[in-house]
Amino acid sequence: MVQYPFTKESSEAIESALKNEGMVCFPTETIYGLGGNALSLKVVEKIFALKKRPLEKSLSVLVDQEWLGKLAYWEDDKIDRIIEDFWPGPLTLVLPARRELPEFLKGPNQTIALRWSSSSVVQEMIKLGECPLIGTSANLSGMPSCSSSAEVVEQFGDQTPLLVDSGVLPENPPTTLLDCTRTPFSFIRSGSIDQKILEDYI
C-alpha cells in the first residue's frame, strides 16, 4: 500500500507495476478504481479474473489529453463542446474507436468508452506508466463499489494489487455515461453530471 502524494519510492512502485503488466487500485473523484496498462491484453485478462467479471463486458479507459486522440476519433462539434466543458470530470463518453486499436479494447460497433478523470492520482499514474489506464471499479462483480481502501482489501483479500490509499472518499454518485456514437446521443447511465445539463449539448 502506498500513499498519495507519491514519494520517489512509491512513484517507482507505481511505474514498475504499470510497465510490467501489473494492476493497481487507486482513488478517483467518485470511487476506488482498479486498473493497469489498457494496451495490454494480459492486464485486461488479469482484471477480469480478479473481479470475476464476464469477459464479454467491455471496460472503460482513463486518458489524458495526449491519449484521447490516439484512442478515439470524431467529427462532431458537439463532442468537442462536451469535452471542453466537462472534462476532466466524472463523465465517460462512448466514442468511435480508432481502427488500429486492439479488439480487446473495443466495445460493440467498434467503440471505446473513455474518461478524462479529474483525479490527480489518475493523471499522475498515466504519466508514470506512459499509458492509458483501464478504469473499472475496484470491487468483485456484483458487489458494491468501494469508497475506502479498507473496503477494497475486504473484497479482494490477499489478492489485492498495489493499492494507493487515500482513506475514505466523499460519497459521490457514479460517473455519467453518455454514448456519443448514436444520433441523438443517448444516456447509458445517470450519475454525477445531471442529464438536464448535458441535454443542452446533445
Domain ranges of the chain: 2-199
Summarize pLDDT for 41-89 with one digit per residue, the tens.
999 999 999 999 887 778 999 999 999 999 999 999 999 999 999 999 9
Contacts of 149 (CB under 8 A, 6+ apart): 1, 25, 32, 163, 165, 166, 167
Tell me the pLDDT band of 12, cut-offs 50, 70 and 90.
very high
pLDDT of residue 58: 83
User: Which CATH number describes the domain made up of 2-199?
Assistant: 3.90.870.10
130: Cβ contacts below 8 Å, ≥ 6 apart: 18, 19
Give the number of C-alpha atoms closer than 13 A to the C-alpha of residue 155, restricted to the C-beta side.
Answer: 24
Q: What percent of the chain has pLDDT over 90?
A: 95
Task: Judge if the upstream peptide bond of residue 184 is cis by omega within 30 degrees of 0.
Answer: yes
DSSP 115: E
What is residue 55's predicted lDDT score, i.e. its pLDDT?
76
